[in-house]
Amino acid sequence: MSSAPSASAESILNVEINKRSPIPVYIQISDAIRAMIHDGELGPDSILPSSKLVCERFGITRMTLRQAYAVLDREGLVDAQRGRGTFVRRPHIERTLSQMIGFSEEMLARGKKPSSRVLTFEKITPTDTALQFLGQGPTFRIERLRLADGVPMAIEDVQIQEGLCPGLERFDFGKQSLYRVLDQVYGLQFDRCEQVVAASIPNRRQRSLLDIGPKVALLQVTRQSFTKSNGPATYGVTHYRGDLYTAAVHAERRGSAGTR
């Protein structure tokens, strides 16, 4: 992140405030900044001008400015970081859990460029949790850092039985889609998956890889995927940045006898 306001952020100082208006000054300020964010004039990670500059420009107190920023913070638009300043947040990505979709597909659908960095590729005995689903036998474990437009978004850790995909190590999953290879090369036809969502606290390694601070929680999604023959295929745990992701589940209420 930059330590100085960008040229676009400085334009906040050119906003016109009417102190005679019945609309409170802090609302006028928050409305103006919100509009600049939505219009793209203030991009993600832009640092807003210092409180001193803004207060002097508009002739307001720090309390009034804090009220304006508090409105934007509640809406998830800015993030005040002690000792660093107030930054425009990156927009959240809604992870729709009712769909079985890969990271690359999801990012491309949102107009972003996905990329990956392989952190670990090894043949192991399944971990205890994976063993319960995948069963006995050696498995490939592939851990990747997933990025969108160059920004670290998630750490994905997947295990799959070696017997389903012998020779998998010959592929470069920093450049290729794992699920596309499993589908097109090995003929694994994925049918459905079961996902469990939980919150988790990042460890030091996760914070470093995802470029986040200690106060950012992770969205942990555990996925068990099945083939069309209802056989177990992959077991994976993905940790998404909680400051960039939200989970969405779409459900319908089923009618019961005597109700409409």
The CATH number of domain 7-88, selected from 1.10.10.10, 3.40.50.970, 3.30.1490.20, 3.40.50.300: 1.10.10.10
The domains of the chain are located at 7-88, 93-248
**Contact of 8 with 45, CB cutoff 8 Å:** no
C-alpha span between 160 and 182 (Å, rounded): 10
144 vs 109, residue with greater confidence: 144
CB 194 within 8 A of CB 233: no
pLDDT category of residue 146 using cuts at 50, 70 and 90: very high
Task: Read off the pLDDT band of 202 (50, 70, 90).
Answer: very high
Nearest by Cα to 101 from 242, 188, 225: 225
**pLDDT tens digits along 159-179:** 999 999 999 999 999 999 898
Average pLDDT over residues 228-248: 86
Alpha-carbon distance 225 to 238, whole Å? 13
Give domain 93-248's CATH architecture. 3-Layer(aba) Sandwich (3.40)
Residue 45 region, left (φ>0) first, then alpha (ψ -120 to 50), else beta? left
Residue 185 has pLDDT above 80, yes or no: yes
Is the distance from CB of 98 to CB of 250 less than 8 angstroms? yes
